Copies of this chain bind each other. A is one copy, B any other.
Amino acid sequence: MCGIFGVLGHKDAARLTYMGLYALQHRGEESAGIFAYNGKKVTYHKGMGLVGDVFDEKAIKSLRGNIAIGHVRYSTTGSSHTSNVQPFMAAHKRGHIAIAHNGNLTNALQLRHAMEGQGSIFQSTMDSEVIVHLLAKSKKKDYKDSMVWALSQLEGAYSLVLMLDDKLIAARDPRGWRPLCLGRIEGAYVLASETCALDLINAEYVRDVEPGEIVFISKDGIKSIKPFPKQKHSLCIFEYIYFARPDSNIFGKNVYLTRRRLGQQLAREHPVDCDLVMAVPDSGNYAAVGFAEESKIPHETGIIRNHYIGRTFIQPSQSVRDFKVKVKLNPIKDVLKGKRIVIIDDSIVRGTTTRSRVKTLWEAGAKEVHMRVTCPPIKNPCFYGIDFPTKKELIASNKEIEEIGDFIGLDGLEYLSLEGMLKAMLLPKNEFCTACFSGEYPVKPPKKLTKRALEK
């Protein structure tokens, strides 16, 4: 997953971008980058790591100009190395293009192989480089027409922010998998993956960039076009379940309140006779509020989250089992001892972490442990931007619900139904992509083509 940000028309463009990326950090912890342009040249700074580690005051000061774009990136596989840090930039006949991309193209490798056959060279393994090549190859005279032509070649998911020297461009694929919103601050335009980035810099939310829309922003103002045939929308429902920040509005609706409704729906669908409701902190916090409210079961804090977790751990003593889980989340024995508990979480992916956590509840003296999950079992990989593990590692791909409950060590486990999940949304149910649950892919997955491997 990734977070993208852009601003045009503000003297502190790079600094605002830095702050925006700070707010979007949860969308990508692997690397961060910012490009800026001051009318003469492009300056940039990027690196592996968190926003707060990649940038310092000196770096921000070196990024000059009133236009900037930024990117935070998360990636699962071997491609985690420096040459894949975004934004991606290249010079072409019209100047410099820098691009920040959230989503996955399903035809990126076909496009790349075709261009290599025609003599093109590639320096990264990112989809973004394909888009830049297309823009450079376009024979259209106007850059707006080039943009339309290039995007028309793409299949799959993209929310994009581009910097074309002194021009800022935003685009979202016609199905609209990934969010992208437009804001204003002190006369400047701002683009961000989520509204929490606008909040942090005190920018006003204007509207979402719509599926299929391209927005061109320059010092002469803003222009929007929708050049592509209209398609059925495929908004990613997992953004609400798991990915987005609770204080963001995504696709126009608040995430926290959605999670609260998911908890309420869950309590209606799968009631349980227990002494207390508690959350897996922090992923189940908001649904647990809804579950407790609807079920009238007392809401307790049964696990304390430790905020001092460093990024690396020393190997614990052999006599200490599950150190990594326990150092992060410690159960309160006096709350749990002898109690029948229902614990709420947003999702189960591999099941192993959940198992470790539930084990600590038993060790704390719980009498019964039930679990309720605010989405259906995740059975299928995502080809549109979410980095699930392989099908083999997805526990729900390989086990029935009861088997999963046994594996985790629960007295009872229930998932919210697909229907129930969609009911908790404030948008029509056919607006969403639910492929990871249902296996119904709105756009066919990419053919298996080998990437040329490059590794740091």
A residues at B contact (CB < 8 Å): 10, 12, 15-16, 18-19, 22-23, 25-26, 29, 40-45, 50-53, 55-57, 60, 62, 89-93, 95-97, 116-117, 119-123, 132-133, 136-138, 185-186, 196, 199-202, 245-247, 249, 254, 256-257, 282, 285-286, 289, 293, 298-301, 304-321, 323, 326-327, 330-335, 452-456
User: How distant is A248 from chain B, measured CB to nearest CB, in Å?
Assistant: 9
Contacts A256-B335, A314-B57, A320-B201: A44 and B293 contacting too (C-beta < 8 A)? no
A326-B42 in contact (CB<8A): no
A285-B310 in contact (CB<8A): no
Known: A10-B319, A41-B453, A289-B301. 14 other contacts (CB 8 A): A19-B320, A22-B327, A41-B452, A42-B453, A42-B455, A43-B456, A51-B308, A52-B310, A52-B311, A52-B312, A89-B123, A120-B120, A186-B319, A249-B334
Q: How many of these chains are in the complex?
A: 4
A455-B254 in contact (CB<8A): no
A326-B199 in contact (CB<8A): yes
Residue in B202, B301, B327, B453 whose beta carbon sits within 8 Å of that of A23 in the complex: B327
A323-B249 in contact (CB<8A): no
A317-B16 in contact (CB<8A): yes
Contacts A123-B123, A304-B246, A308-B50: A42 and B454 contacting too (C-beta < 8 A)? yes
27 residue pairs of the A-B complex, CB under 8 angstroms, read A12-B318, A18-B314, A19-B320, A19-B323, A22-B308, A22-B327, A23-B330, A41-B453, A42-B455, A44-B456, A45-B456, A52-B308, A60-B314, A90-B122, A92-B120, A93-B119, A119-B137, A199-B330, A200-B320, A200-B326, A201-B320, A246-B301, A247-B304, A254-B334, A289-B299, A299-B299, A307-B307
A247 to B122 CA separation, bound complex (whole angstroms): 40
Residues of B within 8 A of A314 (CB): 15, 18, 55-57, 60
A83 to B45 CA separation, bound complex (whole angstroms): 11
B254-A332 in contact (CB<8A): yes
A25 to B452 CA separation, bound complex (whole angstroms): 32
A317-B12 in contact (CB<8A): yes
B317-A201 in contact (CB<8A): yes
User: How distant is A327 from chain B, measured CB to nearest CB, in Å?
Assistant: 6
Contacts A202-B320, A256-B335: A123 and B90 contacting too (C-beta < 8 A)? yes
- Considering the complex, give the chain B residue whose CB is closest to the CB of A332: B247
Residues of B within 8 A of A121 (CB): 90-92, 97, 132-133, 136
- Considering the complex, give the chain B residue whose CB is closest to the CB of A95: B452
Residue in B16, B256, B326 whose beta carbon sits within 8 Å of that of A334 in the complex: B256
User: How distant is A303 from chain B, measured CB to nearest CB, in Å?
Assistant: 8
Residues of B within 8 A of A53 (CB): 310
A119 to B285 CA separation, bound complex (whole angstroms): 51
A333 to B116 CA separation, bound complex (whole angstroms): 49
A1 to B38 CA separation, bound complex (whole angstroms): 30
Residues of B within 8 A of A196 (CB): 304, 330
**Shortest 10 CB-CB contacts between residues of A and residues of B:** A52-B310, A41-B453, A90-B121, A12-B317, A119-B137, A254-B334, A247-B304, A25-B308, A93-B116, A91-B452
A330-B200 in contact (CB<8A): yes
User: How distant is A1 from chain B, measured CB to nearest CB, in Å?
Assistant: 15
